[in-house]
Structure 1
Amino acid sequence: MSGVVPPSPAWVVALSRLPAMGPVRLGALLGRWTPEEAWAQVLAGNLHRDEQVVSEARSLGPALSKRWQEAAVLIDVTELWEAHQGADITVLRAGDRDFPSILVGDPDPPAALFCRGAIHALDAPRVAIVGTRRCTHAGRAIAHEMGMTLAAAGVCVLSGLALGVDAAAHEGALASRATGGAPPVGVVGTGLDVVYPRRHEALWEAIAGAGLLVSEYPLGTPPEPWRFPARNRILAALADVVVVVESHARGGSLHTVDAALERDKTVMAVPGSVRSPASAGTNELLVIGCPPARDADDVLGVLGLDTIGIGRRPSASGRAPDVEGLGAKVLEGLGWEPATLEQLAVRLGRPPGPLARALTELKVAGLVTCQGSWWERR
């Protein structure tokens, strides 16, 4: 290590890199000492003798204290800090000026945040848009439109950068940036240099460039299953409102719902087809009393912001279609769940021939789209 003493955040990074160092244990150390002092205690191997730390940290005994001591000897704090600086990472902990005030007093707060991008992105009203990775075409379209419309209205769209609904919501929010939409924020469950899923590398970079990426883990932290429910509690804590677009009956997004309800946050759900497994979880949320999120106006109303009159049925023009006869029945039969011609014929009890002609007319009118053999309302 060089003769230059690293700044206080560098020691937070070093502490975060110790094995089995979670937010509770890190919070116990930082609540007892400054980061520099805590590091000295780790090196001395004395942590298990401090009654305050032992009472606040989980399972901190001689074995873990020794393990930390052995790991700390091998860590070059200056080198570790320079790596974070080189990656444009800002390290925040409770008490820092830019640490999100909404996390102060949280029942399970992060002890530190690793941020890349514009911290001020969290200054706007915040809505978390979450849902299943295995979303339907309709769910993806709804998430994209809601993300874009809310961002255009000045709302910060939060999500977890997962596949499916999360990605669609962020892509929608990014689409509004060209016309002055609010910057999006991604909350992730890995180090900010470990893109997960890998296919989202371009999306991560876009979020970091246009808004903010947030993690409670230092660089190099790999994806592990337990980290994502932990990530979801931060997502819920940062949000003013949580919107679930689609969720299976036991979907992972319900972890975010539970964390939000524990914090008395408003949870909204997008109504879906009773025939769609991807809407089983959201429809159950409606049954237990969560308000519906039929469109961005519903969400803006809950936030106490001005609605923008976007209408209840998404369409290319924003106007309800003037369709009668068989065309109207076809639109009603499609609902918001894509269907093949054969499935639609079964739903409506009509022969495929007339339905095919009606679908073609609706497609020309811009009211439905076709991908392969699947038809879907616009």
Structure 2
Amino acid sequence: MGFAGVIDASEIEHRNGGAAMNSARYPQWSYSAALASLPLLTHRRLRWLMQSGTPSDVWRRIRAGERFLNGIDDAVWRAWGSVDDSLLIGVAERCIDLGVTVVTMKDAGYPTALIGDPEAPAVLFLRGNTTAFTHRRVGIVGTRTATASGKHFARTLGAQLSAAGVSVVSGLARGIDVESHSGVLSAMNDDCAPPIAVVASGPDVVYPREHSRIWNEIAMRGVLVSESPPGAHAEPFRFPMRNRIIAGLSEVLIVVESRSTGGSMSTVREAMKRDVAVMAVPGSPGMRQSEGTNDLLRDGCAPVTNVEDVLLALNLDTRRVQNWCDPREALSADEAEFLHAMGRGPRSMDELSIHTSRSLVKTAVYLGRLEAKGWVANTDGWWEALVA
């Protein structure tokens, strides 16, 4: 890095794997990053810009005040014309500091699954190992207000898919998204597929903040994907844009829990537009978290009751599931019998006492043992069996 805000093109080239163009002062990736950082930008406007020439040439024309695209408002041209090279330099330096790779559809690191997508992002900011894109890929999405059993199913499914060599694609949102990636990271070894996280902010802006640890762990062990430059906050309009990338990267999309009007349904619609198979996890009738998934099943989506259902949808050998084992302490025969008798869905202790034909005291003892071993969860007095 040079002095006084002057970037060293050779250092940028080395860090990002791009070649500097003889006709440009800086390597092309830095101009791509600057174009993606323009004000009043949409993903379609960026695509139009990137299709208008090399990134350095497009940047030069904008700086010269040229208006070379139809359908762009005067206010947008004025905003673009107000920027200078300090934006280019600042974004490039930030990418170098963060270890962020900037790729376009012409670059080797760009996900091949997105090439040809009608709404493919023109520029991506990546943190981590882009070889994750070469694995088979399954998207897992769901509600932020998931039940304990839904979170458990997402964790288990994520771990089992990774152990079977399938990368899990998700959005690192609260609830189902982050639980699926927590499962992947809990199971990872040299034979497991790395996680792919598509985020709705810049690659350096952790959202939500409590996910800082898993955010950085995915950047080290998998790959973080964003079409927003460093420093971009998770504004509401960015989430639907993120969802189309999740759908585009997925070979199969699984909805674990969702309300009928939940944000997960946005990803479902994007998947269906791309002919990506959508599968859903059956839920208890009457539970709001299962309204959307049960609607999908009623409309003909295939059910997911275990990892084998997903591997079969991918035409993969289900025997690879044997690579994963549940890390929880094994149950005694009577504990396993009680867990099975609990059934699906949340129940109060009184209901469980009746449902399992045991006294309240014995029910409380069993629940205490199972909770200590991680096989049940208690949420505001409602008990759920954590079984996939």
TM-score normalised to the size of structure 2? 0.85
Which residue pairs with 2:108 in the alignment? 97
2:365 maps to 1:354 = no
Structure 1 distance, partners of 2:58, 2:338, is: 69
Which residue pairs with 2:285 in the alignment? 274
Which residue pairs with 2:378 in the alignment? 371
CA contact (8 A) 1:321 1:367 kept: no
Identity over aligned residues, as a percent?
38
Sort the Cα spacing of 1:286 and 1:362 in 2 relative to 1 into closer, same or farther, 3 A: same
Which residue pairs with 1:108 in the alignment? 119
Matches within 5 A, 1:216-295: 216-295=227-306
Which residue pairs with 1:338 in the alignment? 346
SS of structure 1 residue aligned to 2:138: strand
Structure 1 distance, partners of 2:56, 2:326, is: 57
| From 73, 76, 80, the counterpart of 1:61 | 73
SS of structure 2 residue aligned to 1:178: coil
CA contact (8 A) 2:353 2:359 kept: no
TM-score normalised to the size of structure 1? 0.87
1:23-63 residue CA offsets vs partner (Å, 9 max, x unmatched): 2111111111110010011112212xx3xx31xxxx40333
CA contact (8 A) 1:6 1:78 kept: no
CA contact (8 A) 1:341 1:356 kept: no
Amino acid corresponding to residue 60 of structure 1 in structure 2: I
**Higher RCO (CA 8 Å, separation ≥ 6 residues):** 2
Sort the Cα spacing of 1:30 and 1:356 in 2 relative to 1 into closer, same or farther, 3 A: same
Amino acid corresponding to residue 127 of structure 1 in structure 2: V
Structure 2 distance, partners of 1:315, 1:83, is: 41
SS of structure 2 residue aligned to 1:163: coil
In structure 2, runs of 5+ residues without a counterpart are 10-24
Structure 2 distance, partners of 1:79, 1:149, is: 42
Q: In the TM superposition, what is the alpha-carbon distance from 1:331 to its structure 2 partner? A: 3.7
1:174-206 residue CA offsets vs partner (Å, 9 max, x unmatched): 011136311101000100111000000001001
Q: In the TM superposition, what is the alpha-carbon distance from 1:73 to its structure 2 partner? A: 2.2
2:207 maps to 1:196 = yes
Structure 2 distance, partners of 1:322, 1:290, is: 36
Structure 2 distance, partners of 1:358, 1:64, is: 65
Which residue pairs with 1:154 in the alignment? 165
2:44 maps to 1:24 = yes
Structure 2 distance, partners of 1:251, 1:179, is: 36
Q: In the TM superposition, what is the alpha-carbon distance from 1:249 to its structure 2 partner? A: 1.5
Which residue pairs with 2:18 in the alignment? none
Amino acid corresponding to residue 43 of structure 1 in structure 2: R
Which residue pairs with 1:120 in the alignment? 131
Sort the Cα spacing of 1:151 and 1:310 in 2 relative to 1 into closer, same or farther, 3 A: closer
Amino acid corresponding to residue 376 of structure 2 in structure 1: T
1:239-259 residue CA offsets vs partner (Å, 9 max, x unmatched): 001010000121101111000
Sort the Cα spacing of 1:337 and 1:64 in 2 relative to 1 into closer, same or farther, 3 A: same
Structure 2 distance, partners of 1:322, 1:261, is: 44
Q: Over aligned residues, Cα RMSD in angstroms?
A: 2.8
CA contact (8 A) 1:127 1:155 kept: yes
Q: In the TM superposition, what is the alpha-carbon distance from 1:318 to its structure 2 partner? A: 12
Amino acid corresponding to residue 68 of structure 1 in structure 2: W
Q: In the TM superposition, what is the alpha-carbon distance from 1:308 to its structure 2 partner? A: 3.3
Q: In the TM superposition, what is the alpha-carbon distance from 1:344 to its structure 2 partner? A: 3.6
CA contact (8 A) 1:300 1:307 kept: yes
SS of structure 2 residue aligned to 1:308: helix
Which residue pairs with 1:12 in the alignment? 32
Sort the Cα spacing of 1:363 and 1:101 in 2 relative to 1 into closer, same or farther, 3 A: same
SS of structure 2 residue aligned to 1:108: coil
1:66-103 residue CA offsets vs partner (Å, 9 max, x unmatched): 22101x22634233212111110000101112211111
Which residue pairs with 2:58 in the alignment? 38
Amino acid corresponding to residue 313 of structure 2 in structure 1: V
Sort the Cα spacing of 1:11 and 1:288 in 2 relative to 1 into closer, same or farther, 3 A: same
Structure 1 distance, partners of 2:96, 2:117, is: 28
Structure 2 distance, partners of 1:309, 1:13, is: 41
Structure 1 distance, partners of 2:153, 2:329, is: 14
Sort the Cα spacing of 1:264 and 1:335 in 2 relative to 1 into closer, same or farther, 3 A: same
**How many correspondences in the alignment?**
361
